[in-house]
Chains A and B, each alone.
Chain A
Amino acid sequence: VSTATALSYRSMTEAGGLIMERKLSPVELTQACLDRIAEVEPKVHAFVTLLADTALAAAREAEAVISRGDYRGPLHGIPIVLKDLYNTKGIRTTASSKVRADYVPTNDAAATERLAAAGAILLGKVTTHEFAHGMGSAPTRNPWDLDRSPGGSSGGSGAALAAGECLGALGSDTGGSIRIPSAFCGVTGIKPTFGRASKHGVVPLAYSLDHVGPMARGVADAALMLQAISGYDPRDRCTADRPVPDFSATLHDGVRGLVLGVPSNQYFDNVDPEVETAVRQAISRLEREGAVIEEVALPSLTYAVAAWWAICLVEASSVHQRSLRASPDLYNPDVRLTLELGELVPGTIYLKAQRARGLIKQDFRRAFEEHGLAALLAPTMPGTAPRHDQETGDVGSEEPAESAIDQLSFPANLSGLPALSVPCGFSAAGLPIGLQIIGRPFDEATVLRIGRTYEAVTDWTSRHPAL
């Protein structure tokens, strides 16, 4: 492993500490990431737009500012990437779609703005499934096996992190799009509570299901990025006007005495035995750390897939209504089809789904309150990363494999509850497996603390793919 590679795989926490002590220059760190990108990008294809020159200029500026004694905090001088749904002022934001191939925003997204204010260095924009709605993650490859998909829709973020091309990333999650690539690429990602972080300036998929959130190579790093992007924003009417706790402060408090629920239905149906074994072992590991494990039932989750599709199809079609009529041929066939379908769903079905969503939310609440749960533990995904040629996903498919993915990821979007994915092992074929930790509303701190406790007693995050 070259020095540059070793440097680009450093955690944010570690690199940030060195930058603060002026033992590491942001320029050196940024250059290390750019060297790594030059080395592996021809295989990984995570980037849509690489910003080498502006990144180096920003790193030199950060270095100068820090050497003047004006250190802004743990993200200062840290190279990161953004999913290409986040508006970046003066930098094209394509949503990985021909529809937006030349779109150059005049303003930054709220999260782009907040990360810049925290001193993070933007290395570039990375791939997404088209408008976060498509089924395919091409051209991006999974660094653990280049014949496989990184998952999506934040596939570029997951692949870039696993390949050591950056230290942190933002993704977005409407039906699992942060957690899926986190699990498939062996990285850590959190979909915070709906309303925790501003979606202003992020290309929408479905207004009431969209969440923005960080992806990183460890829980502490994800906590730092979440800290930076959280909080009320009058430009996003969904954001909650409530205090943001210090997510890093309680990370090391352990899980002794916490009651953790394990769903008895839905989350373990149609799950690959290798994945189930890894997740059950992770649950036992947390029990050995002092957590109390209880089985819980969440009966209404049977309806999550139907409710999610009804809401997502209609909301997405509303976003794209004009553009679909103006330039239908610019969309990939799978996205075009889902947008057309959404046009034909009656309003009463949409509202029926939004009422079913209310039941699902109540079901989670009942489970958390009756058992005094701190969080629920489940697999993030029912299997490991699929081969590129097996990436399908018909809308509302009754194929067990596809609906199993939906069943595991949709409930946290419908309920808005915070959900973290942390690596919890590898399949016999060497592919990463993720543990999903779902918490109470606005209690990301506990979710992160549980994730960090597990991470600290295992060594999954220290492994990197051979590229």
Chain B
Amino acid sequence: MRSNLVDQESVASICRMVELGLTLERVEILTPQLQDIFTLFAQLDDLDLEEVEPETVFSAEWR
């Protein structure tokens, strides 16, 4: 199953945005892979995370 939300044009445009200068050839390689991982990540939308804080912790301690 593949998400069709990602196309080469949008990949190329995000790459420009993050200043990752990729050739058309790289974008062609990257696009289907990106579709696959976004499909994988979409699984996370099934979870109810309302009450769950991210497991990223900031500490104000000086050390």
Given contacts A344-B14, A355-B52, contact A305 B20 (CB under 8 A): no
Task: Give bound CA distance, A341 to B32, whole Å.
Answer: 11
Interface residues of A in 317-351 (CB under 8 A from B): 324-325, 337, 340-341, 343-345, 349, 351
Write out the residue numbers on chain B whose beta carbons fall within 8 Å of the beta carbon of A340: 20, 22, 26, 30
CB pair B34–A305 under 8 Å, yes or no, is no
Q: Kindly name the residue among B19, B53, B55 whose own CB sees the greatest number of chain A CB atoms within 10 A.
A: B55
Q: From B37, which residue of chain A is reached at the shortest CB distance?
A: A396
CB pair A359–B52 under 8 Å, yes or no, is yes
CB pair A358–B54 under 8 Å, yes or no, is yes
Write out the residue numbers on chain A whose beta carbons fall within 8 Å of the beta carbon of B14: 344
Contact partner of A395 (CB less than 8 A), chosen from B29, B36, B56, is: B36
Task: Give bound CA distance, A89 to B19, whole Å.
Answer: 35
Interface residues of B in 36-56 (CB under 8 A from A): 36-37, 39-41, 43-47, 49, 52-56
Contact partner of B40 (CB less than 8 A), chosen from A305, A352, A358, is: A305
Minimum CB–CB distance for A416 against chain B, Å: 9
Write out the residue numbers on chain B whose beta carbons fall within 8 Å of the beta carbon of A306: 40-41, 43-44
CB pair B37–A345 under 8 Å, yes or no, is yes
Given contacts A237-B63, A343-B20, A344-B14, contact A352 B37 (CB under 8 A): no
Write out the residue numbers on chain B whose beta carbons fall within 8 Å of the beta carbon of A343: 15, 18, 20
CB pair B54–A355 under 8 Å, yes or no, is yes
Write out the residue numbers on chain B whose beta carbons fall within 8 Å of the beta carbon of A353: 41, 44
Chain B interface size range: 20 to 34
CB pair B43–A303 under 8 Å, yes or no, is yes
Given contacts A234-B63, A349-B41, contact A395 B49 (CB under 8 A): no
Task: Give bound CA distance, A201 to B55, whole Å.
Answer: 24
Write out the residue numbers on chain A whose beta carbons fall within 8 Å of the beta carbon of B52: 355-356, 358-359, 362
CB pair A325–B19 under 8 Å, yes or no, is yes
CB pair A359–B47 under 8 Å, yes or no, is yes
Given contacts A340-B20, A355-B49, A395-B36, contact A303 B55 (CB under 8 A): no
Chain A interface size range: 35 or more
Given contacts A352-B49, A354-B56, A359-B52, contact A310 B15 (CB under 8 A): no
Task: Give bound CA distance, A343 to B27, whole Å.
Answer: 13
Q: Does chain A have a CB within 8 A of B8?
A: no
Write out the residue numbers on chain A whose beta carbons fall within 8 Å of the beta carbon of B34: 341, 344
Q: From B10, which residue of chain A is reached at the shortest CB distance?
A: A344
Contact partner of A396 (CB less than 8 A), chosen from B19, B40, B56, is: B40
Contact partner of B56 (CB less than 8 A), chosen from A208, A361, A397, is: A208
Contact partner of A208 (CB less than 8 A), chosen from B30, B40, B55, is: B55
Q: From A403, which residue of chain B is reached at the shortest CB distance?
A: B40
Task: Give bound CA distance, A309 to B20, whole Å.
Answer: 21
Minimum CB–CB distance for A114 against chain B, Å: 19
CB pair B11–A344 under 8 Å, yes or no, is yes
Q: From B54, which residue of chain A is reached at the shortest CB distance?
A: A354
Write out the residue numbers on chain A whose beta carbons fall within 8 Å of the beta carbon of B53: 355, 358
Write out the residue numbers on chain B whose beta carbons fall within 8 Å of the beta carbon of A345: 37, 41
Task: Give bound CA distance, A396 to B2, whole Å.
Answer: 12
Q: Does chain A have a CB within 8 A of B59?
A: yes
Task: Give bound CA distance, A340 to B56, whole Å.
Answer: 23
Write out the residue numbers on chain A whose beta carbons fall within 8 Å of the beta carbon of B46: 303
CB pair A303–B47 under 8 Å, yes or no, is yes
Seen from chain A, the residues whose Cβ lies within 8 Å of a Cβ on chain B are 208, 234, 237, 300, 302-303, 305-307, 309-310, 313, 324-325, 337, 340-341, 343-345, 349, 351-359, 361-362, 394-398
Known: A310-B41, A352-B41. 16 other contacts (CB 8 A): A208-B55, A303-B43, A303-B44, A306-B41, A309-B37, A309-B40, A325-B20, A340-B20, A344-B15, A352-B44, A352-B45, A356-B49, A358-B52, A361-B55, A394-B33, A398-B36
